[in-house]
Amino acid sequence: MSHAIQNDFALSATVSDEIKDEIQAAPFFAWQVDETTDIACHAQLSVIVRYVDRTGCSRLPRNAPTRWNFTSRIVSTVANNYDALLQTFEMIISDKSMDDDTLDCAKGLLMKLEDFEFVFMLYTYEQIFSETDVVFDIVQQRAMDVLYCKKRIESLLAFVKEKRSEGAFQAVYVKAADLTSDPQTNPMRKRHLSQLQDPKERYRNLYMAILDNLTEQLPRHFANLESLRFLELLNPGKFDEMRQVFPEEAFQSVLKSFGQFFDSGRLRSELQVLYSNQGTGENYVISCCF
């Protein structure tokens, strides 16, 4: 190993140790973690830490735009740590050693957390994301099992329709009102022009509109799922089953979409050989596609 590389390692370790010491000494810190997996199934984890240093210089972490499901994680984190966040921002505001930028940011975030509309939207989407994240992760992991994915999408759609009810709306509305204040109790002169109608009715319409949009968009987004039925032909988890009963519907699916590129008789024979070669299925190559 060259001296340059040794120096790099030594410097890296020194910097890491210094950062660890500063974080341990910091009265406040925040960390952001995001993982992404590339096409080779190699996971990469990014960790970002923001903290108050020894000189009293303070900054609050700001979220950077990433994949859409990272937003759902933020919603879940804020919803599950709502009280702790309130306390943290109140502590920062009461700490006279904080700089003006941090104080202004903390006051703005505290005001947002105490705003009824923000909290109402927070818990509306939190209940939605708690289900959609699970289903979308399953769809990504089991993309070859089209029938199973289709059933999970149908169950998600049923969940959304179930949440489009007066009882579900009331639960979210009451929770937001308990954590902040019921907008129905605000004097008329303090309401914005858009809130002159009955506040509860306004939020009921908003809540129902969000779920109606999901009910409309989900079937549209996955409308072509059935046309991907042919992916099941190469699902190793179903080879035993397909060795017993040839997957005719999935086979017709590939012919319907790409029949002009295949010799159907040879493709059928190759697939049957693939399913019958137990233990070698993962290494088998279909050679007679065209």
For residues 255, 258, 262, 268, the Cα torsion angle rounded to the nearest 10 degrees is: -30
pLDDT at residue number 38: 59
Q: How confident is the model at residue 63 (pLDDT cuts 50, 70, 90)?
A: very low
Q: How far apart are the first and last CA of the chain?
A: 52
Burial 96-109 (b: 16+ CB within 10 A, else e): eebeeebbebbeeb
Please check the confidence at residue 165 and state whether its pLDDT lies above 90.
yes
- Taking residues 114-125, report their average pLDDT: 94
Q: How many CA atoms lie within 13 A of 16 on its CB side?
A: 7
Range from 151-165, 204-218, 269-283 carrying the lowest mean pLDDT: 269-283
What DSSP string runs through 27-58? S-EEEEEEEEE-TT--EEEEEEEEE--TT---
pLDDT at residue number 3: 45
Tokens representing 21 are 């010491």
Q: What is the pLDDT of residues 83-119, one digit of tens each?
A: 999 998 899 899 888 888 888 888 998 999 999 999 9
In degrees, to the nearest 5, what angle opens at C-alpha 194 toward C-alphas 168 and 116?
45
- Residue 30 φ then ψ, to 5°: -140, 145
Range from 76-85, 166-175, 180-189 carrying the lowest mean pLDDT: 180-189
Q: What is the pLDDT of residues 235-263, one digit of tens each?
A: 888 888 888 889 888 888 888 888 888 88
Q: How are beta strands 43-51 and 29-37 bridged, if at all?
A: antiparallel
Helix axes 68-80, 82-94, angle to 10 degrees: 80
Contact 157, 218 (CB under 8 A): yes
pLDDT at residue number 187: 60
Instruction: Please list the residues that pair with 38 across neighbouring strands.
Output: none
- Taking residues 195-200, report their average pLDDT: 73
**What is the Cα–Cα distance from 132 to 137, expressed in whole angstroms?**
8
User: What's the predicted TM-score (pTM) here?
Assistant: 0.63
Q: What percent of the chain has pLDDT over 70?
A: 76
Structure-model confidence comparison of residues 171 and 264, the more confident one: 171
Structure-model confidence comparison of residues 169 and 36, the more confident one: 169
DSSP at 62: -
List of E strands, the chain: 29-37, 43-51
Tokens representing 245 are 């009963």
